[in-house]
Amino acid sequence: SQKIEQNSEALNIQEGKTATLTCNYTNYSPAYLQWYRQDPGRGPVFLLLIRENEKEKRKERLKVTFDTTLKQSLFHITASQPADSATYLCALDSLYGGSQGNLIFGKGTKLSVKP
């Protein structure tokens, strides 16, 4: 079955720098990969979705890449701000061909942006 690894439990960076978070998967390449943000005491909030045939997706200061050869997605926040501090989760489908809904989530990377 598919497994996800977000290889940094925590990432501390200085305000203004670019944060780069990594999501690796172990098996087949999913058709879609999603990124979410979760603040303490709240449910995750959807940020971006990238398709298998898209190498890169941008939204304001966010950029996601998807490398099916490396089985990896990178999530970048440019010009980071303390308000970007949160846990970031990647998610993808758990079964080849789609399971009609069973997204599996990584454990997340806790980002702290220091002023």
Contact residues toward another protein (CB under 8 A) are: 4, 30-32, 34, 36, 41-46, 49, 51, 89, 91-94, 98-108
- In terms of DSSP H, where are the helices of 2-115? none
Q: Minimal distance in Å, beta carbon 74 to another protein?
A: 19
Nearest-angstrom CA–CA distance, 50 and 91? 11
Q: Which is nearer to another protein, 62 or 80 (CB)?
A: 62
Q: Which is nearer to another protein, 17 or 58 (CB)?
A: 58
38 bridge partner residues = 87
Q: Which is nearer to another protein, 9 or 15 (CB)?
A: 9
Whether the Cβ atoms of residue 106 and residue 44 lie closer than 8 Å to each other: no
Amino acid letter, residue 52: E
Residue 19: count of CB within 10 angstroms of its CB: 23
Collapsing DSSP states into helix, strand and coil, what is residue 8? coil
Q: Minimal distance in Å, beta carbon 4 to another protein?
A: 8
Q: Which is nearer to another protein, 15 or 52 (CB)?
A: 52
Q: Minimal distance in Å, beta carbon 7 to another protein?
A: 13
Collapsing DSSP states into helix, strand and coil, what is residue 90? strand
Q: Minimal distance in Å, beta carbon 14 to another protein?
A: 26
